[in-house]
Amino acid sequence: MTAAHLTVDPRFAIGHVRRRLFGGFVEHLGRHVYDGIYEPGHPAADEQGFRTDVLELVRELGVSMIRYPGGNFVSGFRWEDSVGPREQRPRRLDLAWHSTETNEVGLHEFADWLDKAGCELMLAVNLGTRGVLEALDLLEYSNVPGGTALSQRRIDNGRAEPFDVRVWCLGNEMDGSWQLGHRSADDYGTLAAQTARGMRQMDPSIELVVCGSSGAAMPTFGEWEREVLTHTYDDVDMVSCHAYYQEHDGDAASFLASAVDMDRFIEAVVATADHVGAARGSSKKIDISFDEWNVWYIDRVDAVKPTAIDDWPIAPRLLEDVYSVLDAVVFGSLLISLVKHADRVASASLAQLVNVIAPIMTEPGGPAWRQTTFFPFALTSRLARGEAVRLRVEAPTIDTARYGTVSAVDAVATVDDAAEAVAVFLVHRGLERPVDLEIDVSAFGEVGVVETHLLHDDDPGASNTLDDPERVRPRTVQTRLGNGILSLTLPPVAWAAVSLRRVG
């Protein structure tokens, strides 16, 4: 048994936890849209063909804003294909995922689905194979109330009110060689700045996200951000970060420390953005949109290889990772990292939502169920309210091959003054022994424990599957409170959340 001491004090406030930190991402990829959120003919489908069982799970997950429609998909996408009478919509080849896109679900249907799910729309424009004009056309179609050709087309297509999309992504992963229309930082920065200025001329109230690196391991990382932001600093609000983690070669210790890498990634991008701002003498701050993050076994993917010229399946099974308890513990620690940077991470999108590297899985004609990663997301989204607060953590350390010596325990708290509520989120990365935690919460006066949740299993490889969808559920964890000290024991490889409320 080892021990750790933590202190939560509201004076160490980081920043307000914005709801957009708990965003998601729906890409036209594999069985995400078709046979995922949309399956006409399913017993649970509503009148529009949307699965109500999936909608219920999406609401329970507590997702705020959803990025759409890609991803790599967006770089070959013609938005006009996805609106208007369905029977006239063209079928297109999706080169990114070697599939056929039927356009049966498009902008109007997806916006209806978001209304049902209670989520906000975040739209990505295609800056891979298209440019300024097409982005302006989509903005006019979406946000202009009426009186112009494209706003009238939207009205004729059945939507009188504008979609009023607040947040727009200027392309996707334009630093990646796999991206259709991949560009140099100079070329992309020029195009993104022109597009941003044009879009702002039409609607000055929108928020714009420029593409940062598609991963901190990219050879252009850092320099890409500097160059792109030098072009776009005055015209955008956020720069994107993307990060996916997986266990390599059975190295669970390094995998469990993935959030250390996420911390460094965020801090490096903030430093680069602030450097560009300083060099320009600007008082403006660029925030981060961490608009793709997750555990993803990219190595296990039989990547989308060009097959025969006539083999373009509709909604094939792609990227359907099954997540273990170990994956979910790492996933929970990534959420801790995001909350720890609430001052600069204005928005984040879990990639993705249904079937495709997803917390929610479905079977055609069959059930929908929660993967292990569902639980830390739903609990953090529900309990992390108010201000994020940095903890003082004194804990044993662990040596990892990838990230050096790291703390065995990581944590963050949130304090909601209005509700007189405190929530503490914890991860124990140790692989062998439990850790005894003593958390000093005396700064809050008299408090009582309201809820506890522990994600752990004696088998860290346990997962929820079609055959056993309830195998993994969070349990409660025993706590003791006395003299302002909250005590609990975390087993190895565990994620936990504890919520407290002021009493008296």
Whole-angstrom distance, CA of residue 98 vs CA of residue 72: 11
φ/ψ (deg, to 5) at 386: 85, -130
Considering beta carbons, is residue 172 or 381 the nearer one to ligand AHR? 172
Token pair 């929108």: residue: 206
Q: Considering 27, 134, 173, 387, which one is annotated as catalytic?
A: 173
Q: Where on the phi/psi map is residue 104: left (φ > 0), alpha (ψ -120 to 50), or beta?
A: alpha
- Tokens representing 148 are 């112009």
Shortest distance, position 225 Cβ to ligand AHR, whole Å? 17
Kindly list the distances between the CA atom of residue 361 and the CA atoms of 7, 145, 368, 460, in Å, as whole numbers in the listed order: 38, 37, 5, 20
172 scored as a contact of ligand AHR (CB under 6 A): yes
Q: Considering 80, 225, 292, 387, which one is annotated as catalytic?
A: 292
362 scored as a contact of ligand AHR (CB under 6 A): no
Query: Which residues, including other chains, have CB under 8 Å from residue 379's CB and lie 6 or more apart?
Result: 453, 474, 497
Whole-angstrom distance, CA of residue 262 vs CA of residue 241: 10
Whole-angstrom distance, CA of residue 477 vs CA of residue 454: 6
Q: Which of 38, 57, 61, 72 binds ligand AHR (CB under 6 A)?
A: 72
Shortest distance, position 71 Cβ to ligand AHR, whole Å? 3
* Catalytic residue status for 173: yes
240 scored as a contact of ligand AHR (CB under 6 A): no
491 CB burial (10 A radius; 0-12, 13-18, 19+):
middle
- Tokens representing 65 are 């804003």
- Tokens representing 485 are 């000290």
173 scored as a contact of ligand AHR (CB under 6 A): yes
Considering beta carbons, is residue 233 or 374 the nearer one to ligand AHR? 374
Window contacting ligand AHR (CB under 6 A); options: 13-21, 66-74, 232-240, 334-342: 66-74
175 scored as a contact of ligand AHR (CB under 6 A): no
Q: Which of 126, 352, 355, 380 binds ligand AHR (CB under 6 A)?
A: 352
Query: Which amino acid, residue 49?
Result: G
Give the CB-nearest residue to ligand AHR. Answer: 71
Considering beta carbons, is residue 237 or 291 the nearer one to ligand AHR? 291
Alpha helices per DSSP H over 341-451: 374-383
Q: Are the CB atoms for 206 and 200 separated by under 8 Å?
A: yes
71 scored as a contact of ligand AHR (CB under 6 A): yes
- Tokens representing 111 are 């916006």
Query: Which residues, including other chains, have CB under 8 Å from residue 136's CB and lie 6 or more apart?
Result: 195, 198, 199, 202
Whole-angstrom distance, CA of residue 170 vs CA of residue 236: 9
Binding mask 196-235 for ligand AHR (x = CB under 6 A): ------------------x---------------------
Considering beta carbons, is residue 151 or 362 the nearer one to ligand AHR? 362
Considering beta carbons, is residue 83 or 318 the nearer one to ligand AHR? 318
Considering beta carbons, is residue 171 or 386 the nearer one to ligand AHR? 171
Q: Which of 23, 30, 36, 70 binds ligand AHR (CB under 6 A)?
A: 70
SS (H, E, C) 400-411: ECCCEEEECEEE
Considering beta carbons, is residue 167 or 351 the nearer one to ligand AHR? 351
Site for ligand AHR in 20-39 (CB under 6 A): 27
Shortest distance, position 178 Cβ to ligand AHR, whole Å? 7
Window contacting ligand AHR (CB under 6 A); options: 9-17, 65-73, 127-135, 186-194: 65-73
Site for ligand AHR in 281-320 (CB under 6 A): 292
Shortest distance, position 216 Cβ to ligand AHR, whole Å? 14
φ/ψ (deg, to 5) at 328: -70, -30
177 CB burial (10 A radius; 0-12, 13-18, 19+):
exposed
Shortest distance, position 173 Cβ to ligand AHR, whole Å? 5
Q: Are the CB atoms for 408 and 430 separated by under 8 Å?
A: yes
Beta bridge partners of 221: none
* Catalytic residue status for 161: no
Q: Which of 136, 165, 192, 351 binds ligand AHR (CB under 6 A)?
A: 351
Count of residues of this chain found to bind ligand AHR when the rule CB under 6 A is applied: 10
Considering beta carbons, is residue 27 or 261 the nearer one to ligand AHR? 27
Enumerate the active-site residues: 173, 292
Residues lying near ligand AHR in the complex (CB under 6 A) are found at 27, 70-72, 172-173, 214, 292, 351-352
